[in-house]
Amino acid sequence: MDLQQFEIKILPLKNKIYRLAKALLNNTNEAEDAVQDIYLKLWSSRKELEKAENLTALTLQIARNHCIDRIRSRNRVQFSDLIDNDESFSSEPSPYEQTEQKDLVKNVKQLISELPEQQRIVIHLRDVEGLEMDEIAAITGMTENAIKVYLSRARQSIRKSFLGK
């Protein structure tokens, strides 16, 4: 893969890589650093990237693994900020509705951050990134059935906690 192919195929994935890194690392600056490190890894392994069937899945798998390595190196796990922008609502709601929406997003983020690691990863990849089950399977190394189970449990846990509040 030459520079031009890399720019066409890999560079457009920057936002997905960043959102995943930010969700896993829970730190904007660390996520930005991680994206740079991930791009260096991708560039150095560009010959192997040519052989990939699903380049997006492979790239996100490399990003996920890099972030998990960073987390393990600091001996703690933090996940949150799964939604990039709290103000992602299309119409201009009233100040009361804005506050209510921000509280809702904050509560859902908190509930997601309390999920077990596998559930957090799966719900992020499916509901935030919008990936298909086969792509999530390629990234996580799980079977599609396991992904469905984790996703179902995560959603049930969030629903139960949210409605219980």
Q: Are residues 59 and 117 in the same domain?
A: no
Q: What is the greatest pairwise CA distance in the chain?
A: 54
- Dig out the tokens for 35 from the structure: 């994206």
In terms of residue numbers, what domain contains 71? 1-78
Look at residues 78, 107, 133 and tell me which one is the last residue of a structural domain.
78
Q: Are residues 108 and 68 in the same domain?
A: no
- pTM, whole model, 2 decimals? 0.52
Encode pLDDT of 40-72 as tens digits.
Answer: 998 888 888 888 888 888 899 999 999 888 887
- Local confidence band at 165 (pLDDT 50, 70, 90 cut-offs): low
State the CB neighbour count (10 A cutoff) for residue 76.
8
Give the CATH number of the domain where residue 64 resides.
Answer: 1.10.1740.10
Q: Among candidates 47, 53, 69, which has minimal Cα distance to 135?
A: 53
Contact 119, 154 (CB under 8 A): yes
Encode pLDDT of 106-149 as tens digits.
Answer: 888 888 888 898 998 898 888 888 888 888 998 889 999 999 99
* Whole-angstrom distance, CA of residue 103 vs CA of residue 108: 9
pLDDT of 78 over the 80 cut? no
Look at residues 27, 46, 78 and tell me which one is the last residue of a structural domain.
78
